[in-house]
Amino acid sequence: MKKKVVTRFAPSPTGYIHIGNVRSAIYPYLVARQAGGKFILRIEDTDRARYVEGATELIVETLKWLGLDWDEGPGVGGDNGPYFQTERTDIYYEWGKKLIASGRAYADTTPAEKIGEYREKAKAEGYPFLYRNYRPAETPEWEVGMPLRFKAEPKNYEYHDEVMGDLKMGEETQDDFILIKADGLPTYNFAHIIDDVTMDVTHVIRGQEYLPSMGNYLALYDALQIERPIFVHLPHILGPSGTKKLSKRDGAKSVTNYRDEGILPEAMLNFLACLGWNDGTEQEIFTKEDLIEKFRLDRIQRASARFDEQKLVWLNGQWIRKLFVENPEELHRRAHEFWDEYAKDTTDERKNIIMSIIYDRLKTLADLRGMTRYFFVDPEVDLDMLLQNKFLKKMSEEELQNLLQAAVKKLETVEDWTPENIRTALNELLIETKTKPPVLFSPIRIALSFAPFSPALPETMEVLSKEVVLARLNAVIRALSNER
Ligand code: GLU
């Protein structure tokens, strides 16, 4: 009988989840959902020196935001708990004792200085340091509080990795590594294997930084006589330069930073899933459902993918449009917190109208702040912006002033201030003034917004109100005449 697919995300609560590591959550999630299996969240908190208060909460928040729900783990429970490694020590002791009983583990009380000397000696003699060459002849009976070491019996191993292919691990990759530390907590090397087997994990999906340790892991599966899971080691994600691993320094922010900058979770999930994976077509926009359906482990690229924030921002713009078309209320709801201070007295209805004329220019929801200011406060008149405009450069200030005056006169006649009526008036004005559209519309647009761009004029004007439009045009006319 085929085993039920069980995958896990097993982060260590040592800080925020660096964006380069989130694929280690997304891919196992997709594999589990596609197979109708189970996705487990396990918190690997045994490294107390690197433990960061609040990091687990941040992990939970990140996964929830991305829509990666788990079937077992913190907040959910399950039959294979606890899901924090520090609460599972009895399980590790039990398995440690099995290894002692079969002669494959020993208590080691060798002082750290001594081990340091061995390391120095190996270095001086030009050998790679392997503790098994210095294994103590006599060892005490193990009890909690003493380091417990694996007893290596080096072999040549072969194994298959779904991404990296067929690999070999030679004898030199296996050593007497620590299973349980003096503080009574297991090492990652030991704990993850025990957890994976006791949680029936079928696929171990994680970063390639664990590849060099595979010799020790294979030896442990062997010594414990447990079946190996399917291995999936993900290539690194490279920084924007494409030459080195993405690090916090080149912008490996936390996922929640991006959320706060107005990236949609759908866009983030889409972007990260496609870093080093594609479905073999040109498709770029994938919903979570698409990903669950189309994801294939064998299409993960072996080469490292480059992190390109521009691509993320582009995708986010696509997602904002998609969401507006499919579910505008949802977009309004999410945009809520991104409006600036000056919008605080504006009704939701008016904000929604502004959103509906501006959404297709937004790359992030945070763009709302800079891009909609002129809807709420009169912009400062900046004549240079007007006079330097590429369509207006050849015009004199007098010509510009006349044009704006003609616009004021025309717009004053519009009784019912609707986009249709405004559009008609502007089109009549084009004919009457015998100008080309950019020459007429650019100065009006600039006078109303003094922003690098703004949505279609009639719609913008409607939202601003007739009174504000006329007042802003007149302010510019005045500024131009003061200038002359
Ligand atoms: N706790 C490990 C980490 O955060 C997880 C590795 C694994 O998935 O086994 O890197």
Burial class (CB in 10 A: 0-12, 13-18, 19+), 445: buried
**Which pLDDT band holds residue 243 (cuts at 50, 70, 90)?**
confident
- Distance from CA of residue 20 to its chain's centroid? 8
The Cα–Cα gap between 170 and 1 comes to: 33
Of the listed ranges 130-134, 241-245, 480-484, the least confidently predicted one is: 480-484
| Angle CA 281–287–290, to nearest 5 | 55
Q: 34 alpha carbon to ligand 1 midpoint, in Å? A: 22
User: Each residue of 122-175: pLDDT tens digit?
Assistant: 999 999 999 999 999 999 999 999 999 999 999 999 999 999 999 999 999 999
Q: What are phi and psi of 415, to 5 degrees?
A: -80, -60
Tell me the mean pLDDT in the region 370-385: 94
In this prediction, residue 454 carries a pLDDT of 87
For 51-103, write each residue's pLDDT tens digit: 999 999 999 999 999 999 999 999 999 999 999 999 999 999 999 999 999 99
Burial readout 84-116 (b: 16 or more C-beta within 10 A, e: otherwise): bbbebbebbbebbeebbeeebbbbbeeeeeeee
From 355, 365, 336, select the one nearest 266 (Cα to Cα): 365
Burial code (b: 16+ CB inside 10 Å, e: under 16) for 380-415 equals: ebebebbbebeebeebebeebbebbeebbebbeebe
Model pLDDT, residue 332: 95
For 333, list phi and psi in degrees, rounded to 5.
-60, -45
Phi, psi of 129 (to 5 degrees): -75, 120
Q: How far apart are CA 377 and CA 448, in angstroms?
A: 11
Which residue, judged by its Cα, is nearest atom 2 of ligand 1?
11
Q: Which residues are catalytic?
A: 248
Q: How far is the CA of 11 from the centre of ligand 1 (A)?
A: 5
Give the per-residue pLDDT at 18. 82
- For residues 315-342, average pLDDT: 96
Q: How far is 139 from 406, CA to CA, in rounded Å?
A: 98
- Predicted confidence (pLDDT) at residue 1 exceeds the cutoff of 70: no
Which of the listed residues 24, 59, 217, 220 should we mutate to test ligand 1's pocket, taking the one with most ligand atoms within 8 A of CB? Answer: 24
Q: Which of 162, 148, 171 is nearest to 218 (CA)?
A: 171
Query: Beta 38-41 vs 6-9: how paired, if at all?
Result: parallel
Mean pLDDT of the chain: 95
The rounded Å distance from CA 262 to ligand 1 centre is 29
Kindly state the DSSP code that residue 52 receives in the 8-state scheme. Answer: -
In eight-state DSSP terms, residue 254 is B
Over range 276-303, report the average pLDDT. 97
The alpha carbon dihedral of 121, 127, 130, 132 has a sign of: negative
Q: What is the pLDDT of residue 251?
A: 64
Chain centre to alpha carbon of residue 33: 20
Determine the 3-state secondary structure of 176 from DSSP.
coil
Distance CA 108, CA 138 (A): 9
Angle at 339 between CA 336 and CA 341, to 5 degrees: 125
- Looking at residue 117, its pLDDT comes to 97
Closest listed residue to residue 187, CA positions, set 8, 18, 48: 48
Per-residue pLDDT reduced to its tens digit, 245-266: 887 776 678 899 999 999 999 9
Pocket test for ligand 1, best of 6, 9, 12, 39 (most atoms within 8 A of CB): 12
User: Which atom of ligand 1 approaches the CA of 188 most closely?
Assistant: 1
Q: Where are the alpha helices (DSSP H) in 227-382?
A: 255-260, 265-273, 288-294, 309-326, 328-335, 348-358, 367-371, 373-376
DSSP 8-class letter at 156:
-
Q: Which residues line ligand 1 (CB under 6 A)?
A: 10-12, 24, 44, 188, 192, 206
**Which atom of ligand 1 is the closest one to the Cα of 44?**
1
> What average pLDDT does this structure show over 194-211?
97
Between strands 105-107 and 165-169, the pairing is unpaired
